[in-house]
Amino acid sequence: MKQFLLYILKIIVALILMMYTFDRIYSTTFKNKNPRNKVHKILQLENKHYDMAFLGSSRTECHVDCELIEEITGKSCINLGMSGASLGDMLILLSLAETNNITFESLAIQIDYNFYNTGLSNTFKANLVPFIQNPIVKKELNKDNDNFYYNNIPFYRYMKYDKIVGFREFFATLFNKKPRSEIKFGFNPKKGQGLAIHGKLPDSFVHTNRELEAIKELAERNETKLHLFTAPYCQNINNRIKLLELKNDIPTILSYVNVFDNKEGYFFDCAHLNHEGAREFTKILIKDISKLSE
């Protein structure tokens, strides 16, 4: 019996050591290898200035062509839009940028369905876990119900978010595999045409968003010009009228919800423009933002 218990103890010790080893290897790789997503890019970048930055969900990532903006304006530009991103994600991303002395002359933030949500998206949270030693990251992850396990069980956070920062992503990062989304400018255009509806707008609506207010305070603190905009939706989406009514709560917002109502060929699906539509939208957006910045 004593030998059996000793054998079990050895297995447990070996597993703990293995978990510590894997935790260290994963964390070191994500911190030091070329970033494959925009969260890791900002976490690794330091002392960088951009004239313009665009933040939002896939409705920014797929709609704003920063390379085209640089050609038109001659100003440096980065698209930090991320699929499924919330305003909470954007607030933390901007806080991390501020800590790393990444500065922006102006910020343009997509505000539409995300105005009615709070908190961090699951994907964004997963991409934070390799950087748990960062004070801002640690503070956010400590709000999670699993914070005890993050801090006390090595490799737990990578097991929990295996689909996002697990084995496949680790090896892709380790061997510098090219990411699906372009990182330098951050624009990820869609190809094809359609008006399919995936998901729906919320049934209930709020009139304020505390995370947006915090973003405004951060921009003011850094003397950054802040522009808010609503990206196009096709006419088939339910409750679209509520997005048009955002003007009542945010009078300064640039609303483009219905700008392509007669241009169905510009849509990939009801919530996303295709590449041609994105380039046309970029031209409209940058023209209006430039006027406001004069």
Q: Which helix (H) or strand (E) holds 287?
A: helix 275-293
Tokens read off for 86: 């919330």
Residue 99's pLDDT band (cuts 50, 70, 90): very high
Where do the domains of the chain lie, and which CATH numbers do they carry?
2-293 (3.40.50.1110)
Tokens for 72, please give them: 């038109």
- How far is the C-alpha of 169 from the C-alpha of 40, rounded, in Å? 12
Q: What are phi and psi of 52, to 5 degrees?
A: -140, 140
Q: What is the pLDDT of residues 23-49, one digit of tens each?
A: 999 999 999 999 999 999 999 999 999
284 touches 273 (CB < 8 A): no
pLDDT band per the 50, 70, 90 thresholds, residue 164:
very high
Contact 183, 35 (CB under 8 A): yes
For residues 195-212, average pLDDT: 82
Sign of CA dihedral 143, 208, 267, 76: negative
Residue 282's pLDDT band, with cuts at 50, 70 and 90, is: very high
- pLDDT for residue 204 is more than 80: no
Task: Name the pLDDT band for 184 (thresholds 50, 70, 90).
Answer: confident
